[in-house]
Structure 1
Amino acid sequence: MSLLSINKIYKIIEMAELIYGKIGSERINKSETFIDKLSYYLEDFNITGRCSVNVLHKYIDELSQEEKAEVIALIWLGRIPSGQVPEDFTNLIKQVVELIPRNYATSYIIEKPLLAKYLRDGLQKLDIWSSASS
C-alpha cells in the first residue's frame, strides 16, 4: 500500500465493527431495533454513542480515489480463501481501477457487512496486521 496509511485502515475497521458488529458477537445478524435504525441516520455519533453508516460513508468518501482503490484491493485480498495463493496486491489495485467505477467506490466499500473481517484478513495476508490491534 503506497498511499493508504495503516491508521486509516484501522479507523475503517473500528467504525465497521461499531456499525456491523464484531465477527462472533451477537450483534451480527441481530435484527435492528428502533434505536439502531435511528442511530444510522444521525451524523454525530457522539450523541448516540454509536457510529452510523453516514459517518463511515463520509470518512471513506474523503479518501482519495487511489486510497479507495487500495481499500477495495485489500477487501478483495481478504476475501481470498486461505488455501489459495493471493494475487499480487499491485495487480489487485489495477483490477479495481479497471472494474469499479470511481463514483461507486465508496458505496462498494461500505455495503460490506464483513468489511472489518475482510480488511483484517487482507492485512494479515500482506503481513501487516498486528495481533495487538485485534
Structure 2
Amino acid sequence: LEVGMFTGYSALKMAEALDEDGELFTCEIDPDHITIGRNYFQKVPWGKRITVLEGTALESLANLEPSFDLVFIDADKINYLNYYKRAVELIRSGGIIVLDNALWSGRVIMPEDDGSRTIAETNDFIQKDDFVWNVLLPIRDGLMVVQKK
C-alpha cells in the first residue's frame, strides 16, 4: 500500500518486486498525477499489479480492510500522523511501515510550519508507540521504518 503516488515511480518499483499475483494499492488525489502514473503503469508488464485509489488518502484508507505487508507513506505532511495510525491498523503483525521525509530537511528539529510540526509529532508518537519497533534512518530527508509487533 502506498499513500501518495505522485508520478508513480515508487509504485512501479514496488510492483516490480511483487510476486506475479501480488497487488499494490496506491492513493492519489491529483488527477494529473493519476494520469501520468497510469500512463507509466501501462508501459510495463507489472503495471497491471497496481490499483490507483482516487480521492483523498484518508478516505481511501478508511475503505480498506487490514491485510497489508507494507505501507509506504509519502503524501501531504499535515496528515502523516493520521496516515500512520491507520497504517498500523491495516498491516499484519510483522508488517512494515515506511514514512518518507521523517527529517524534512532538518525542519523537524525546530518546526515552524504545520507540516514540519506534524512530522515531528508523528516521529514522537512512533517513538512512544508500544505496539511497534522503529528506526529512523538519516538517509536524504529521513526514512522512518516501523515494524508492527
> What TM-score do the two structures reach when normalised by structure 1?
0.24
When you count strand as a share of all residues, which structure comes out higher? 2
When you count helix as a share of all residues, which structure comes out higher? 1
Pick 1 or 2: higher relative contact order, CA cutoff 8 A, min separation 6: 1
